[in-house]
Structure 1
Amino acid sequence: MCTSIEMTAKNGEVFWGRTMDLSLPMFGELGGEVRSVITSFPVGTEIKSQLKSWSALYSVMGIGIRGTSILYDGINEEGLAGDLQVLFETTSASRAEINQRHQIPVMNAEFVTYILTHYRSVAEIRQNYHKFAVLAESMVVHGKTVTTPIHYNFVDPSGNGVVLEATDSGSFKLYDSVGVMTNSPEYDWHVTNLRNYIGLDKWNFRRNRQYRDGKILKPLDAGIGYGLANLPGSYTSVDRFVRSFMIANMMDEFEAKDGINQLYTAFHSVIIPQGVERNSENNTASEYTRYWIGYDLEKRRLYVQPSVGLAFTSKQLDPQILGIEIEEINTGNCFDQR
């Protein structure tokens, strides 16, 4: 379960971010090997893949698993950013099927890294996405087999955004982004569902309402919040999609200098607290927001806040680095800028 939101400042600069919602630890909470870090890949780096390694055409920075090619989300030197999220409707295909269709097989968990190191804009993704298909093989991460159905969201500094879903026998369907993405069902269903909430607005309802029998009802609390009184409030992917879309589109316009703060505020209602989502009384695992991250696409800078501390770690992409760089995310309570 995850949510991504895109917002644009008055001057046209784009800010984009996501929550990573999982029931698995990501920052060594249980002493595990799978730890999330900031990974930077410079131009020309050979990125080792479970399939066929490739060379990075663009430098990239993002959040991924230490010692792997996997990025959960990231940004490249041209300002193209993207992420992966769970989608249960995802399909895949065998090597023989993909070869027969003259497509390139990809491992789904590596696809964000692949796209960001190969393309400079969403326009280029639109031109090339049909060349790829998700291979029906599991990733092996630090000796453990990982099988997760995934879809993808990409946005560039022009504000152009797309969602890619491998729901056609491993081949991708492309959708124009409406500025937000969550999980299942498929993207076109979510966009259609938004029409059910077209009556919502940000204006307070202040006047009294008189009914046929002469009964008069007065708004509570001066009518504050009535415009969004029927905004869905659960943490399901359907409700988070509607909630994040409406809030992001109803917030005040903002200056670029306030972009990250505005973006972070938009996420407040979809950040999932620990413990409110459990499968059973005997299951101690809780699916909640493990980290929030915001990207300033113009400055190629990220701001990440993990669930295990109050601190933000901020880092700007440096296209001049000579080799792969791995940096820890601050899990304390003090701001860390690099």
Structure 2
Amino acid sequence: MCTNIKLIAKNKDIFFGRTMDLNMSMFGEDIGIDLDVKLVSIPKGVTVKSQLQPWKSKYAVLGVSTKDTTILYDGINEHGLAGDCQVLVETTRSKTAEIEAQGKTPMIGEEFVTYVLTNFKSVKELRETYTKFMLTDQFYEYQGAKLQFPLHYAFIDETGDGVVLEPVLAGGFKMYDYVGVMTNSPEYNYHTVNIRNYIGLENTGVSEKKVDKDLTLQPIENGTGYGLFGIPGDYTSPSRFVRSFYYKNMVDTFDTEKGINTLYAIFRPLIIPRGLEHAKKEEKITDYTRYWSGYDVTNRTVYVQTGEGLAITSKTMDATLTEITYNDIQLDNHIYIV
């Protein structure tokens, strides 16, 4: 379970963030395979050693990655294109040979965010070429295991434009206009229809009492919060989509210096505490928010907070780097800048 949100400041600066909700260790916090998550910096002009077909990065990228792999969970490039991946159980794939026979480029799903951010400047470019790519059924090998996450993807840029790409056509992508939020399954068009069921939600309270034949009803606490009464509060994907969409559209306008604060404030009621999402009763490792990341798109800066501590690790893109580098994400209750 994951959520992403885009916000726009008064001066049109863009802020983009996501929660990574997963039932798999990312920071050594659970037994079994650990994804060893770090901040990664990929310079322009380096070879990205794909497990399918290596490529050279056209653009520098900063993001959240599994160390010493080509897996990027979310990130931003030097031109302000940002994106992430999230679970979509409807994901499909085809065999590499079948994809190549169609004249298309096969991609490993776990590498797709990395490929896009190192090769595209804008959402406009992505709109023009996304049909050239298809997901292959090749597994991603990591620590002796064969990984294959069912994924869909969201990308936004400095213009505010955004797309959601879902590989549901035998590995080929459907494209949707991004409405400022994304969660997990069902497919994106379900969510954009479902939010219409909550069209009556407002960000104003109820100040007037209601007089019935036999009873006068006084609003509780002066009516604060009544406008959002009935908004779904569970952690299912459709409910998180509704909360994300209305929260982001109802917050006060803000200056750019308040962008990350505002973004994080919206995410707080979406962060899943550990223990609430057991897939089965006997499973001890739960699906919860392993980390939150927020991107100041204009300044090419990322902020990351894990579920292990209150520390926020921040990094700004460094254009002078010449090789792929990794920085630790702090897990305690201090604040670090790397």
| Category of TM-score, reference length = shorter chain | over 0.9
Cα deviation code 1:1-29 (max 9, x no counterpart)? 10000000000000000000011110122
Distance between the aligned counterparts of 1:234 and 1:33, measured in 2?
28
Match of 1:319 in 2: 319
Question: Do the aligned residues in 2 keep the contact of 1:36 with 1:65 (CA within 8 Å)?
Answer: yes
> How many angstroms does 1:282 deviate by?
2.6
Which residue of structure 2 aligns with residue 248 of structure 1? 248
RMSD: 1.1
1:93 aligns with 2:94: yes
Separation in 2, partners of 1:104, 1:98: 7
Percent identity of paired positions between Structure 1 and Structure 2: 47
Q: Which residue of 2 aligns with 1:279?
A: 279
Deviation at 1:142, TM superposition (A): 2.3
The aligned runs of 1:79-118 (5 Å cut-off) are: 79-118=80-119
Cα deviation code 1:105-126 (max 9, x no counterpart): 0000000000000001111110
Partners of 1:290 and 1:305 lie apart in 2 by: 9
Normalized against structure 2, the TM-score is what? 0.98
Instruction: Kindly provide the amino acid, as one letter, of the partner of residue 169 in structure 1.
Output: A
State yes or no: 1:53 paired with 2:51. Answer: no
Task: Provide, for residues 172-213 of structure 1, a one-character-per-residue CA deviation record: whole Å limited to 9, x for no partner.
Answer: 0110000000000000110000100000000001111123x3
The equivalent residue for 1:169 is: 170
Partner of 1:299: 299
Tell me the SS of whatever aligns to 1:267: helix
The C-alpha deviation readout for 1:63-92, integer Å capped at 9, x for no partner, is: 010110110000000011000000001111
Preserved CA contact (<8 Å) 1:161 1:177? yes
Looking at structure 2, the residues matched to 153 and 207 of structure 1 have their Cα atoms a distance apart, in angstroms, of: 42
Whichever residue aligns with residue 14 of structure 1, its letter is I
Partner in structure 2 of residue 139 of structure 1: 140
Q: In the alignment, which residue of structure 2 is the partner of 1:215? A: 215
Q: Distance in 2 between the 1:49 and 1:80 partners?
A: 21
2:232 corresponds to 1:232: yes
Structure 2 CA distance for aligned equivalents of residues 215 and 251 of structure 1:
35
Answer yes or no: is the 8 Å Cα contact 1:7–1:263 preserved in 2.
Answer: yes
C-alpha distance in structure 1 between counterparts of 2:88 and 2:257, whole Å = 34
Superposed counterparts of 1:13-52, under 5 Å: 13-30=13-30, 33-52=34-53
- Give the residue type in structure 1 aligned to 2:165: L
* In 2, Cα distance between equivalents of 1:107 and 1:254: 39
Query: Do residues 178 (structure 1) and 186 (structure 2) align?
Result: no
In structure 2, the gaps of 5 or more residues are: none
Are residue 62 (structure 1) and residue 63 (structure 2) matched?
yes
- The residue matched to 2:35 in structure 1 has which SS? coil
Q: Hey, what's the Cα distance between the residues in 2 that align with 1:52 and 1:317? A: 26
Amino acid at match of 2:318: D
Q: In structure 1, the residue corresponding to 2:175 is in which secondary structure? A: strand
Deviations 1:207-226 (A, max 9, x none): 11123x34321211111100
- SS of residue paired to 1:282: coil
What's 2:197 paired with?
A: 196
User: 1:74 is aligned with what amino acid?
Assistant: G
Instruction: Quote the Cα distance in structure 1 between the aligned partners of 2:86 and 2:283.
Output: 23
Residue by residue over 1:262-298, the C-alpha shift from the partner in whole angstroms, topping out at 9 and shown as x without a partner, is 0000101110001111133332111100000000000
CA distance in 1, matches of 2:279, 2:297: 37
1:10 maps onto 2:43 in alignment: no
One-letter code aligned to 2:272: I
Check the 8 A contact 1:86/1:184 in 2, yes or no: yes
TM-score (norm 1): 0.98
Q: Which one-letter code corresponds to 2:120 in the other structure?
A: Y
Q: Distance in 2 between matches of 1:30 and 1:88?
A: 24
